Amino acid sequence: MEQVAQAAGVSIGTVDRVLHNREGVSEKTRKKVFKVINEIGYKPNIYASILSRRKDFSIVAIIPYFQTGEYWELVYSGITRAVKQSQGLNIDLKIFYYNQFDLESFRGACRNTIDAQPDALFIAPIYKEDTIRLVHRLTSLSIPVAYIDTKPENTDYLAYFGMPLFESGYLAADLLVGKDPGVKEVVSFNIDRGEAPPNDSMLTRHRGFRAYLDDNNPGCKLTDCSMSPFDFLHNMRLFDAFFEEHPDVKHIVTFNSRAHLVSDWMEIRGIRDKKLLGFDMLQANMRALKNGTISVLIAERTDKEAFNAVKSLIDFLVLRQRPRHRDNFSSIDILTRYNVDFYLAEE
C-alpha cells in the first residue's frame, strides 16, 4: 500500500479507502490509484487480512473407516496434508467415519455433520441418495461441498476431483480383451456389500466396460461374481470353484481397488495363464503388478485428488476463490510391471 500511495502521490489512508470502496475519495483520485494498482500488479494480502480477523473455518470430511493399506488411507492422507499445508489459516478439520457396508452408519455421519454446522464439506458419495439429501440440506445453507471419486449430477457443488469413470471402464475393456474375437468370457469379481447398495463408481466403470464389449466384441460375455472384502478363506474357495467350472476363462477384471485379493489366490495356486486388470494404487496392488499376477493397473492420484478437493474448499472459505474448473478430471494412468517403478519415482 505504501508503494501504491507513493506512486499515486496520495496517502496510505486514501489507498485504503479506494481498496475498500469507502467514501471521501474523488473519482479522479480513485482512477489514479487504480491505474497505479494495475501498473504494478498490486494484490492485497488476503491471508493476512483473514488472520487479523481471527476467523475460524470448520471443514467436515465424511469417509469410511479404513485399515492400513486400503484405498481410504490414500484419501485420508490427501485430506490431512491439505489442512496441514494451510496451517495458520485457522482451519478446523472434523472427520466423521462410518462403516461403508452399513447405511445406518453413513446416516449417522450425515447427522453428525449437520449438528456440527460446518463451513464446508468433503465427501466421496458411496451412498448416493443419502448424499444427495445431505448436500441439498447444506447447499440450502450456502455451505460448499467438494466431491472425489464420483458426483451425483443433480446436486450443487463447488468442485469435483476424480477419474472419468465411464471412460476408465471403457479403457479397461480395451486393455484386457481389445477386439479379440477369441475372448468369449470375462469374469468381474466385485465386492459383496451385503445389504448396502453397490458403489456408484464401480457401476459406472462396469457400464463403460460393457459398452466397449457391445461396440467391439459383442460375442464376449461379462460374468459378475461377488467376493468378500475380508474373508480370505471364503475367497479362496470362491475362486477355486469358479475356475473349476469355467476353466477357459482367462481374463479377470475388478472395478474396485481389491484386485490384490484375486492376485493372492493366483500367487498361492501358482497360476500364470490369466490376465488380471485392476484399479487403484494400493501397495498390495503395486506389489502384485511388479510380480506379474496383476497384468495391468489403471491408476489415479487418489491422495492428490483428496488434497485438491480440500484445498478448493479452503481457498473458497479464505479467499472466496472458486476453482478454475468445477469438474476436475484426473488422467487415467496405465501401469504395468515395466513402468511402475518410474511412475512411483515421480512421487
Which grid coordinates are listed for 346? 515421480
Give the separation between CA 51 and CA 330, rounded to whole angstroms.
33
Mean pLDDT of the chain: 91
pLDDT band for position 38 (cuts 50, 70, 90):
confident
Minimum mean pLDDT among 38-47, 51-60, 100-109, 116-125: which range?
38-47
Which grid coordinates are listed for 75? 484419501
> In the prediction, which pLDDT does 347 show?
47
> In the prediction, which pLDDT does 317 show?
92
> In the prediction, which pLDDT does 2 show?
80
Which residues, other chains included, contact 113 with Cβ-Cβ below 8 Å and sequence gap of 6+? 60, 62, 96, 121, 134, 138
pLDDT band for position 346 (cuts 50, 70, 90):
very low
pLDDT band for position 48 (cuts 50, 70, 90):
low
Provide, rounded to the nearest whole percent, the portion of the chain with pLDDT above 70.
95
> In the prediction, which pLDDT does 294 show?
98
Q: Assess whether pLDDT exceeds 70 at residue 303.
A: yes
Higher pLDDT, 87 or 310: 310
pTM as predicted: 0.82
- Residues 237-262, mean pLDDT to the nearest whole number: 97
Q: Assess whether pLDDT exceeds 90 at residue 24.
A: no
Are the C-beta atoms of residues 191 and 229 closer than 8 Å to each other?
yes
> In the prediction, which pLDDT does 296 show?
97
Map residue 69 onto helix, strand or coil.
Answer: coil
Q: Which residue has the cell 488476503?
A: 46
Which grid coordinates are listed for 187? 469374469
> In the prediction, which pLDDT does 257 show?
94
pLDDT band for position 335 (cuts 50, 70, 90):
very high
Strand-strand pairing, 296-299 and 333-335:
antiparallel
> In the prediction, which pLDDT does 146 show?
98
Q: Assess whether pLDDT exceeds 60 at residue 91.
A: yes
Give the separation between CA 306 and CA 122, rounded to whole angstroms.
9
Q: Assess whether pLDDT exceeds 70 at residue 14.
A: yes
Nearest CA-CA partner of 168 in 212, 230, 217, 109: 212
Q: State the DSSP string of 281-325.
A: --HHHHHHHHHTSS-EEEE--HHHHHHHHHHHHHHHHHH----S-
Nearest CA-CA partner of 292 in 272, 270, 320, 264: 272
The model's pLDDT over 124-153, given as tens digits with 9 standing for 90+, comes to 999 999 999 999 999 999 999 999 999 998
First to last CA, the chain: 40
pLDDT band for position 36 (cuts 50, 70, 90):
confident
Give me the amino acid identity at 338.
Answer: Y
What φ, ψ does residue 266 adopt, rounded to 5°? -60, -40
- Residues 173-198, mean pLDDT to the nearest whole number: 93
Give the separation between CA 129 and CA 133, rounded to whole angstroms.
6
Are the C-beta atoms of residues 171 and 209 closer than 8 Å to each other?
no
- Residues 261-273, mean pLDDT to the nearest whole number: 97
- Residues 254-275, mean pLDDT to the nearest whole number: 96
Are the C-beta atoms of residues 322 and 158 closer than 8 Å to each other?
yes
Q: Assess whether pLDDT exceeds 90 at residue 274.
A: yes
What φ, ψ does residue 146 adopt, rounded to 5°? -120, 135
HSE-up of residue 299 (Cα within 13 Å, Cβ side): 22
> In the prediction, which pLDDT does 42 show?
65
Give the separation between CA 195 and CA 204, rounded to whole angstroms.
20
